[in-house]
C-alpha cells in the first residue's frame, strides 16, 4: 500500500512539473518540442505491449491496451505535426498552367 502511495505521489509531482515546464516554453519552440517529445511515446508502446502480453489481472491488461492506443495516437500525431511543420520550409511546387481550348 505504501509503495502505491509513493508511486501516486511521484505521478502527481510529474504532472505538475510537466505542466509548469510546458507552460513556460515560448510559442516559437512549442511545436518542435512537442513533436519531438511525442516520439518518446514509443517507449510507452513497448511497455504497454509487454503489459498486455504478460500474465496478470484483466484490469492491468485494459490499462496496457489504453497505453498502447493513446501512445500510438500520440506517436502518429507527433510525426504528422513534424511533417506539417517541415513542409512549411520546403520550396513551393511549380504549378503548370493549362490552356483552355
- Strand ranges (E), 3-78: none
Residue 20 lies inside a defined structural domain of this protein: no
Q: pTM to 2 decimals?
A: 0.56
Residue 40 lies inside a defined structural domain of this protein: yes
Residue 65 lies inside a defined structural domain of this protein: yes
Residue 53 lies inside a defined structural domain of this protein: yes
12-71 tens-digit pLDDT: 999 999 888 878 877 777 666 766 666 677 778 888 888 899 888 998 889 888 888 988
Separation of alpha carbons 33 and 31, rounded Å: 5
Query: Which uninterrupted H or E stretch holds 96?
Result: none
Amino acid at each position: 500500500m505504501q509503495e502505491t502511495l509513493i508511486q501516486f505521489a511521484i505521478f502527481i509531482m510529474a504532472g505538475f512539473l510537466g505542466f509548469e515546464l510546458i507552460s513556460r516554453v515560448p510559442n516559437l519552440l512549442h511545436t518542435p518540442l512537442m513533436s519531438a517529445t511525442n516520439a518518446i511515446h514509443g517507449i510507452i508502446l513497448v511497455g504497454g505491449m509487454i503489459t498486455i502480453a504478460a500474465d496478470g489481472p484483466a484490469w492491468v491488461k485494459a490499462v496496457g491496451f489504453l497505453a498502447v492506443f493513446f501512445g500510438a495516437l500520440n506517436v502518429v500525431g507527433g510525426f504528422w505535426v513534424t511533417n506539417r511543420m517541415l513542409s512549411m520550409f520546403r520550396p513551393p511546387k511549380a504549378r503548370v498552367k493549362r490552356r483552355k481550348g
